[in-house]
Amino acid sequence: MSSGPLRAALLGVLLAIVAGVAFSLLDRPIEQPIAFNHRLHVEDLGSDCTDCHLYAMTGVRATIPNVEVCADCHAEAQTDSEEEALLVAHIASGDPIPWRKLYWVPDHVYFSHRRHTAIGGIECETCHGPMGEASEPMPRPFVKVTMNGCMKCHEQNGTSNDCLLCHK
């Protein structure tokens, strides 16, 4: 007669394992094809965010730079770094670097960089953390994108939280 609670307990354990596996798959660290160093380019060399993320002030998507942007300075190797050698090979062949994204919203959500940066006057750091200080690619976003996060800031700024503002 005690098999009911036992079965429920076993089911609970099973569900916890399934949830744990699903969570660890979702939360797997992201590895980039080249160990790009933000700190070196931003703090030491003085590049602006928009020298590389060309549309962060003017477009919907900031965009991750590819070989054309890097080629301005890396058509020929400047160091004996193996990571730079990988980059120089990409530039020579024209093969795009398969950068992986850390930040994204689902297709049903509309987000515009220009609206938040140029018009809203919000700094990159508010949504992306101190990216300019990262000396290697981040395995996870500094700041997770969530509906709650969007809505909290809209509330603080007196911006609409109408479902159809963000969900098109």
With binding defined as CB under 6 A, does residue 39 bind ligand HEC? no
- Binder among 11, 96, 140, 167 for ligand HEC (CB under 6 A): 167
Query: How far is residue 130's CA from residue 62's CA, in Å, rounded to a whole number?
Result: 16
**Contact between 88 and 97 (Cβ < 8 Å):** no
Integer angstrom CA distances of residue 57 from 34, 53, 125: 25, 9, 14
Q: Which stretch binds ligand HEC (CB under 6 A): 6-14, 16-24, 124-132?
A: 124-132
CA 96 to chain CA centroid, nearest Å: 18
With binding defined as CB under 6 A, does residue 115 bind ligand HEC? yes
CB of 38 to ligand HEC, least distance (A): 6
- Binder among 104, 139, 140, 155 for ligand HEC (CB under 6 A): 104
Of 4 and 57, nearer to ligand HEC (C-beta) is: 57
| Residues 6+ positions from 40 with CB-CB distance below 8 Å | 135
| Both structure tokens of 131 | 């990216």
Q: How many residues bind ligand HEC (CB under 6 A)?
A: 72
CB of 65 to ligand HEC, least distance (A): 4
With binding defined as CB under 6 A, does residue 126 bind ligand HEC? yes
**Contact between 9 and 114 (Cβ < 8 Å):** no
With binding defined as CB under 6 A, does residue 102 bind ligand HEC? yes
- Binder among 109, 139, 140, 155 for ligand HEC (CB under 6 A): 109
With binding defined as CB under 6 A, does residue 22 bind ligand HEC? no
Integer angstrom CA distances of residue 117 from 50, 66, 123: 11, 22, 6
